Structure formats: C-alpha cells, structure tokens
Amino acid sequence: MGLNIGGRRFDVDVEDSFAPFLEQQMKNDFNVEGNNELKILLQAYIRKNHDLFLQEQKIEEINKKLDL
C-alpha cells in the first residue's frame, strides 16, 4: 500500500488479512489518489487515537460490569 504525504511517496507492506481493512481506513482518512499535507496526517493520527481512547473507556466500563 502507498500514500503520498508532503510530496513524498510512502509504501508499506501489511499482512494479507489486514490489507483490506487498512485500505478502507486509508480511503476514509486520506486522499489516496493524490498528495496529503502533513496536517492531514496529524489529524488522522489524532482521530485514530481518539477512537482508541473511546474503545478503552468502553472496555473498562464492560470490565466493571463483569466484576459485579
């Protein structure tokens, strides 16, 4: 998979089972056909970390319910 950021092309190799998921996420977060500014990369990073934060809160909430 590849992505242009700040005028540079970055290619990454991923496992076959993960590739379709990552491809869809990249299409949601980036312009996969053209260049992306660094600001877009930072915004995507922050969004994904926010998603992880919410997931962690949900997991903790479920764990507390299971402990009862």
- pLDDT on residue 67: 87
> Is pLDDT of 68 > 80?
no
- pLDDT on residue 48: 97
Specify the pTM. 0.79
- Radius of gyration for the chain, computed over Cα atoms and rounded to the nearest angstrom: 16
31-48 pLDDT per residue, tens:
999 999 999 999 999 999
Q: How many folded domains does the chain comprise?
A: 1
What DSSP character marks residue 29? H
**Residue 29 domain boundaries:** 2-67
Question: How buried is residue 29: exposed, middle or buried, by Cβ count under 10 Å (0-12/13-18/19+)?
Answer: middle
User: Among residues of the chain, what percentage have pLDDT more than 90?
Assistant: 96
